[in-house]
């Protein structure tokens, strides 16, 4: 799955599409907004979402490298999905990118 990337913009509260992630990946946020941006992950192909981290408005833009340790464990060996969700009273625009890092 190296090379997968999800790039988009949030302008209202709600969730982005999802991208499968394995190993190390880049997570970036930039823009000006109010509300909170949550990075969420799913272990069951998108049926259930769990907050991985959040990033509040009025803080510095974000560009970090994270690592998904699970990498599709379990009976089905499905990849872990990630998405971005805007919550709270939303104004402004947040740009985001979630992308696997090529080995």
pLDDT in tens, 59-72: 668 888 888 877 65
What is residue 1's predicted lDDT score, i.e. its pLDDT? 44
What is residue 79's predicted lDDT score, i.e. its pLDDT? 77
What is residue 2's predicted lDDT score, i.e. its pLDDT? 47
Q: Which residues of the chain have pLDDT under 50?
A: 1-2
Pairing assessment for the beta strands 19-21 and 23-42 based on DSSP bridges: unpaired
What is residue 55's predicted lDDT score, i.e. its pLDDT? 72
Burial 51-89 (b: 16+ CB within 10 A, else e): eeeebebeeeeeeeebebeeeeeeeeeebbbbbbbbeee
Distance CA 84, CA 11 (A): 12
Task: Domain ranges for the chain, please list them.
Answer: 5-100
Q: Are 25 and 99 in contact (CB under 8 A)?
A: yes
- CATH number, domain 5-100: 2.60.120.260
> In what helix (H) or strand (E) does residue 41 lie, and over which residues does it extend?
strand 23-42
What is residue 41's predicted lDDT score, i.e. its pLDDT? 92
């Amino acid at each position: 799955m190296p090379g997968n990337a999800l790039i988009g913009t949030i302008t209202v509260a709600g969730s982005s599409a999802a991208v499968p992630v394995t190993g190390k990946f880049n997570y970036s946020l930039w823009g000006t907004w109010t509300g909170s941006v949550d990075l969420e992950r799913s272990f069951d192909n998108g049926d259930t979402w769990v907050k991985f981290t959040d990033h509040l408005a009025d803080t510095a833009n974000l560009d970090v490298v994270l690592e998904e340790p699970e990498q599709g464990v379990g009976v089905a060996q499905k990849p872990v999905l990630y998405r971005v969700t805007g919550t709270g009273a939303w104004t402004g625009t947040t740009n985001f990118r979630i992308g696997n890092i090529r080995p």
